[in-house]
Structure 1
């Protein structure tokens, strides 16, 4: 009989079929998550015409799912500690899939908005739990890479949503896009069978036989016997108070991080919700307008990978400053007449430097704060940023309601990028906080995030 450290087994495991299985199912769930979230931007131009929506109401409908995401992330995150991550993930998939399917039957904007809010609860609830499950089972040396690969599923889901919308919406109506969200329901039996439960939860529930079975799959070459004792090192549950984020010269830098998160997510969700409508209002065909949304998500993947590679060789601050400057410049240029290939290039750059910047911001915050307050710093920065995500669709609706010239709409969306540029430039400067001592961080770590 021997004592076995559960975390040590997982950290030092050799990547095998079990890890591929976890990666596959977690990525697939994130793809469904991305599809359901981006779908509103795909159908928005049709809904505004069909229901005669004012831009203000359309913006409110766009934010309804984001409100749900905020509450879902908090509520289902706590629930998973009691009932397990697997049950919560399956429940969230059922919630956002069923609600999105029913959304296709909505006949009034208020029905639509209520259903989007409920779907948002599931969309927001599934994200932290899938990220936690993927992180828990990933070998330490590949953890950041695997989580980054999983996160790419969000952009893939957005691309699928936009790509299908180009063909389906003009020919068959917007409702079909929502009915297709029922596909995950067909895969629920396979998810129940192949998606593992958190081993930490199994240990906390004294279900050691199940935990032992999982660990044998994680490390099949390790001789784990029935009589061996599984151990989970004790962890401290204490959390540093929020006030620590403002001490030791960190006050200004903390505020600047919050400003940058807010502005970045405002741009990301304003574009995700309103880009097709803004382009169709400028005279582009619906299929071309939806293609812009797909290119935006393609750019997001390129920006995440390229930004992480650059951050390894330069610094996070310099890369973020450059990205936010490029984001503002590309958005301003989108407001003017250009050849189609130039417009697609500009949209791709906008996707790379807005969504890519969001990912890099998480890495910078994690690197800036001491370990003792790192999770507090990340939690509050992302919480403030979520408010920007909620405001984004509302801002887009307000701009459209003002009926301003096309180029002024994009000029207004570029302003948050300028503010974020200044904010990041002030992080860690002398007199504004202490610049963190950076260490070599793998490029994949730069690409890791959570929404």
Structure 2
């Protein structure tokens, strides 16, 4: 009797969280931690760079914007490339790029060289994130998928906290250069990542590497051996033309646009805060050391928000969590400029962290589950590429606000408008057309047919 084929997707979906998952999550968490470290060290070093090179607030903002242009290019370029070359390969390559060029940034002798290295590093940073999301989503057990993806992206905030604390220790004594040199640490663990990170199951099957698929699945289910017949859920045949256009088909057009706008808004919040929070808090009367503490507190809020609300989205759904979070961020940003209490300021900053970095972490999980496997990397890459346009605009815009010497309240209120726009955009995402909802409907329909 011929053995019944085993569906690779079902094996992964129904697997228990075990050591194989742990090591994947560990390495993905570590990569994203250095992503967060890289982004925050620029904001922490901006006051030192302005003082050393005599550049203006607008120029400092422009350097931040140029860097984000690199991340936008990397997001869409490597997001689509992963569907052809494999997610593991792209993660390794992009980690190499952003680590090496951030390390070189610490040797820059002027704004031009500094900006060039930052832009190239940004290309790597933009490419690594969507592929980490996609690979984590693919291998996480279905019942805890959102929580696992959200946890991995807590690494961003952990890295950002380390950046704030490292900068606080090194900037007054050693200068800004060593802060960038430390970003080269991921180069040392690339050989371990090459050995231990699995390639996408879908990519391996599409390229006829079924034996490698069996080896991976055997680590999740020991009953699978060399004789097992493996199959994937049937994927749509890829039509000619740009894969991005597929995101607008099958009633997904409105949701795709709303994802892009909400991501744009989230990145305005993230890059406004990451680039300028120390300077904004110094404008409000705090010294540099205290201002860097606010950066760390914001990331603590992001971690807490991601973990707590990551569990809630599995129970309540994404929109019921993300929409209120955006609006809470707008309220906190509007109030922080008026408070003179450090404790209240810490609370507001924590809420801002949860409703900016935290919201984006959860939104990434939302996008990765909304689209079918065949276009997941493209969806994440294009969404984050569009979103990073907000990151391009934000540093220069806030730099301009600082240059015209507005009161701190007005600067924070201007940033808060992004949270309001993001909340309304998320409100119009049509969950009923998402891939995960279609899967649930199919399962429900099957149960009804069996009951009959």
Deviations 1:387-421 (A, max 9, x none): 21221111111111112222222222223234445
Query: Which of 111, 127, 130 is 1:128 aligned to?
Result: 130
- 8 Å Cα contact 1:246/1:254 also seen in 2: no
TM (norm. structure 1) is 0.84
- 8 Å Cα contact 2:72/2:386 also seen in 1: no
Deviations 1:12-44 (A, max 9, x none): 323222111111111111112211122211111
> Counterpart of 2:230 in 1: which secondary structure?
strand
Q: Who is 1:445 aligned against? A: none
- 8 Å Cα contact 2:278/2:294 also seen in 1: yes
Tell me, yes or no, if structure 1 residue 229 matches structure 2 residue 229. yes
Q: Distance in 2 between matches of 1:437 and 1:190?
A: 39
> Counterpart of 2:185 in 1: which secondary structure?
helix
Q: Who is 1:266 aligned against? A: 268
Query: Structure 1 residues 392, 321: CA separation in 2 closer, same or farther (over 3 Å shift)?
Result: same
Residues 195-210 of structure 1 aligned to structure 2 (within 5 Å): 195-210=197-212
Q: Who is 2:100 aligned against? A: 98
Deviates more, 1:6-15 or 1:283-292: 6-15
Query: Structure 1 residues 157, 71: CA separation in 2 closer, same or farther (over 3 Å shift)?
Result: same
> Counterpart of 1:106 in 2: which secondary structure?
coil
Query: Which of 333, 336, 341 is 1:334 aligned to?
Result: 336
Q: Who is 1:112 aligned against? A: 114
Deviation at 1:181, TM superposition (A): 0.9
Deviation at 1:302, TM superposition (A): 2.0
Q: Who is 2:409 aligned against? A: 407
Q: Distance in 2 between matches of 1:151 and 1:347?
A: 19
Q: Who is 1:6 aligned against? A: 8
Q: Distance in 2 between matches of 1:435 and 1:179?
A: 44
Tell me, yes or no, if structure 1 residue 287 matches structure 2 residue 289. yes
Deviates more, 1:320-329 or 1:169-178: 320-329
Query: Structure 1 residues 376, 207: CA separation in 2 closer, same or farther (over 3 Å shift)?
Result: closer
Aligned CA-pair RMSD: 3.3
Deviation at 1:275, TM superposition (A): 0.3
Deviations 1:217-244 (A, max 9, x none): 222x21413x443333431035765665
Residues 27-66 of structure 1 aligned to structure 2 (within 5 Å): 27-66=29-68
- 8 Å Cα contact 1:245/1:254 also seen in 2: no
Deviations 1:21-75 (A, max 9, x none): 1111111111122111222111111111111111111111112221111111222
Deviation at 1:378, TM superposition (A): 6.9
Q: Distance in 2 between matches of 1:392 and 1:184?
A: 28
Query: Which of 183, 188, 191 is 1:189 aligned to?
Result: 191
Deviates more, 1:337-346 or 1:387-396: 337-346
Q: Distance in 2 between matches of 1:233 and 1:25?
A: 27
Query: Structure 1 residues 315, 402: CA separation in 2 closer, same or farther (over 3 Å shift)?
Result: same
Q: Distance in 2 between matches of 1:86 and 1:369?
A: 20
Q: Mind listing any 5+ residue stretches in structure 1 that lack a counterpart?
A: 429-433, 442-451
Number of matched pairs: 430
Q: Who is 1:431 aligned against? A: none
Deviations 1:186-206 (A, max 9, x none): 112222222222233333333
> Counterpart of 2:6 in 1: which secondary structure?
strand
Query: Structure 1 residues 215, 363: CA separation in 2 closer, same or farther (over 3 Å shift)?
Result: closer
Deviation at 1:316, TM superposition (A): 5.3
Deviations 1:359-388 (A, max 9, x none): 455577789999999999877654432221
Q: Distance in 1 between matches of 2:261 and 2:397?
A: 16
Q: Who is 1:179 aligned against? A: 181
Deviation at 1:306, TM superposition (A): 3.6
Query: Structure 1 residues 419, 13: CA separation in 2 closer, same or farther (over 3 Å shift)?
Result: closer
Residues 135-154 of structure 1 aligned to structure 2 (within 5 Å): 135-154=137-156
Deviates more, 1:393-402 or 1:186-195: 186-195
Q: Who is 2:19 aligned against? A: 17
